[in-house]
A and B are shown apart, each in its own frame.
Chain A
Amino acid sequence: MSAIFPKWTNRLPLMILIGGGLTASAVTAGVWYYFTPKYTRVGYQPLQPVSFSHATHVDQLGMDCRYCHSAVEESWFSNIPAASTCMNCHNQVLKDDPRLALVRESAATGKPIPWVQVHKVPDYVYFNHAVHVNRGISCVECHGQIDKMEEVYHAKPLSMSFCLDCHRDPASKIRPLDKITDLNWQWSDDPRVAVQTQQAKGREMVEHWRVESLQNCSACHR
Chain B
Amino acid sequence: MMRYFFLLFGVAVLLVVLIAGRRGDTSRRPPFEIFPDMDRQLKLRPQAAHGFFADGLSSRLPPPGTIARAEPFNVGGRAVYPFEDAPVNTGRETGTTNFVALNPLPVTARLLARGQQRYAIYCAPCHGATGEGNGITKKINAMAVVTSLHDKRVVELPDGDLFNTITLGKNLMGAYGPQIPVEDRWAIVAYVRALQLSHLGSVDDLSPEMRAKLK
User: Given that A26-B9, A35-B34, A61-B136 are known contacts, is A45 also in contact with B26, CB under 8 Å in the complex?
Assistant: yes
Q: Does B25 contact A (CB under 8 A)?
A: yes
Bound together, the chains give a CA A166 to CA B30 distance in angstroms of 26
Bound together, the chains give a CA A66 to CA B114 distance in angstroms of 14
Q: Which label, helix, strand, loop or mixed, suits the secondary structure of the B interface?
A: loop
Beta-carbon contacts under 8 Å, A43-77 to B: 43-47, 61-64, 66-67, 70, 74, 77
Q: Decide: B23 and A61 in contact? CB cutoff 8 A.
A: no
Q: Does A1 contact B (CB under 8 A)?
A: no
Question: Nearest Cβ distance between residue A149 and chain B, in whole angstroms?
Answer: 10
Q: Does A4 contact B (CB under 8 A)?
A: no
Contact with A along B1-26 (1 / 0, CB 8 A): 11001000100110010001001111
Question: Nearest Cβ distance between residue B93 and chain A, in whole angstroms?
Answer: 29
Bound together, the chains give a CA A55 to CA B12 distance in angstroms of 40
Bound together, the chains give a CA A77 to CA B142 distance in angstroms of 32
Q: Decide: A42 and B136 in contact? CB cutoff 8 A.
A: no
CB nearest neighbor in B for A86:
B174
Give the contact stretch, choosing among B43-51, B79-87, B98-106, B196-204. B43-51
Q: Name the one of A34, A41, A84, A89 contacting B178, with C-beta atoms under 8 angstroms.
A: A84
Contact with B along A9-27 (1 / 0, CB 8 A): 0000001001100110010
User: Given that A45-B27, A47-B28 are known contacts, is A23 also in contact with B121, CB under 8 Å in the complex?
Assistant: no
Bound together, the chains give a CA A91 to CA B27 distance in angstroms of 33
Bound together, the chains give a CA A44 to CA B117 distance in angstroms of 34
User: Given that A79-B47, A123-B39, A123-B45 are known contacts, is A61 also in contact with B125, CB under 8 Å in the complex?
Assistant: yes
Bound together, the chains give a CA A114 to CA B144 distance in angstroms of 31
Q: Does B33 contact A (CB under 8 A)?
A: yes
Bound together, the chains give a CA A62 to CA B137 distance in angstroms of 10
Bound together, the chains give a CA A78 to CA B178 distance in angstroms of 15
Q: Decide: B179 and A93 in contact? CB cutoff 8 A.
A: no
Q: Does A154 contact B (CB under 8 A)?
A: yes
Q: Decide: A123 and B41 in contact? CB cutoff 8 A.
A: yes
Q: How many residues of A sit at the interface, in one of the four size bands?
A: 35 or more
Question: Nearest Cβ distance between residue B100 and chain A, in whole angstroms?
Answer: 25
Q: Decide: B179 and A70 in contact? CB cutoff 8 A.
A: yes
Query: Count of B residues near A, CB < 8 Å?
Result: 52
User: Given that A38-B23, A43-B25, A122-B39 are known contacts, is A63 also in contact with B178, CB under 8 Å in the complex?
Assistant: no
CB nearest neighbor in B for A94:
B142
Contact with A along B169-180 (1 / 0, CB 8 A): 000111110111
Contacts of A74 in B (CB 8 A): 181
Q: Does B67 contact A (CB under 8 A)?
A: no
Q: Decide: B142 and A93 in contact? CB cutoff 8 A.
A: yes
Q: Name the one of B20, B34, B117 contacting A178, with C-beta atoms under 8 angstroms.
A: B117
CB nearest neighbor in B for A177:
B117
Q: Does B31 contact A (CB under 8 A)?
A: yes
CB nearest neighbor in A for B56:
A112
Q: Does A176 contact B (CB under 8 A)?
A: no
Contacts of A15 in B (CB 8 A): 1-2, 5
Q: Does A2 contact B (CB under 8 A)?
A: no
User: Given that A43-B25, A45-B27, A84-B178 are known contacts, is A92 also in contact with B143, CB under 8 Å in the complex?
Assistant: yes
A-B interface, 5 closest residue pairs, ranked by CB to CB distance from nearest = A88-B174, A122-B39, A123-B41, A93-B142, A64-B121
Binding site for B on A (CB under 8 A): 8, 15, 18-19, 22-23, 26, 30, 33-35, 37-47, 61-64, 66-67, 70, 74, 77, 79-80, 82, 84-85, 87-89, 91-93, 112, 114, 117, 120, 122-124, 153-154, 178
Binding site for A on B (CB under 8 A): 1-2, 5, 9, 12-13, 16, 20, 23-34, 38-41, 43, 45-49, 57, 117, 120-122, 125-126, 136-137, 140, 142-144, 172-176, 178-181
9 extra interface residue pairs, beta carbon distance < 8 Å, beyond A23-B9, A63-B125, A123-B45: A26-B12, A45-B27, A46-B28, A47-B28, A64-B121, A93-B142, A114-B49, A123-B43, A154-B31
Contacts A/B (CB < 8 Å), 10 sampled: A19-B9, A34-B20, A38-B23, A40-B33, A47-B28, A67-B122, A85-B174, A88-B176, A92-B142, A123-B40
